[in-house]
Structure 1
């Protein structure tokens, strides 16, 4: 099953040098992010990123021919460490994914008054009465 996020690179009939040039251009421009880097950024596991994030970020594959081309013609590249990876991801695509899919969850606990101790209920009643007095006072001051 092919992903809609896979960016295909047609190297058919091209020299290793031109294939390396195609890949180096993509790597330099945007496709220079790894699953490890995404996991570090999000402080989660490699497996989590691979399952839940990577399938939804544009990526390229470095197949055997591309790997050979990059190793022969890209040896002076600052991205040489990426040549051993099988998949490289769009940095911009990852940033967009994070912005579009992130949500902020806050833990909230619900307490019922009848579950609280008598002392806690009394204290809450005092707080509520004080708030009501404050609101009435503010309302009177506005009139």
Structure 2
């Protein structure tokens, strides 16, 4: 993952208060037409690995899933940071008053399933309206 991709994902999570699904929808528009770095998790040779993403929506979905997975896996490390350490400029507060849980389930089963459903729905062609089907012309 590139630093700019991490920055976009971090801003979506922290500044825009996005969870996995809303971050996917937000970054789908932001990253439209951009070449994304390949994902390690989707291209690994393990038996549990899935096929590498093909469409842009699949690539964005994989980036969002990777980010939230690794963020939750490594969240416990934030409890040991000094209050003055800031890695990004969108973090005006320190970690002393961060009351979020630091042990999380990294699977995000419902959210990742919803992202997969959205990717599938975006890849489906839009149905023609009845007027378009009859006349061959759009109402627009």
TM-score higher than 0.5 here? Answer: no
Bigger radius of gyration among the two: 1
Bigger relative CO (Cα 8 Å, ≥ 6 apart): 1
- Greater helix share, structure number: 1
Please report the TM-score for the alignment, with normalisation by the length of structure 2: 0.25
Structure 1 or 2: larger strand share?
1
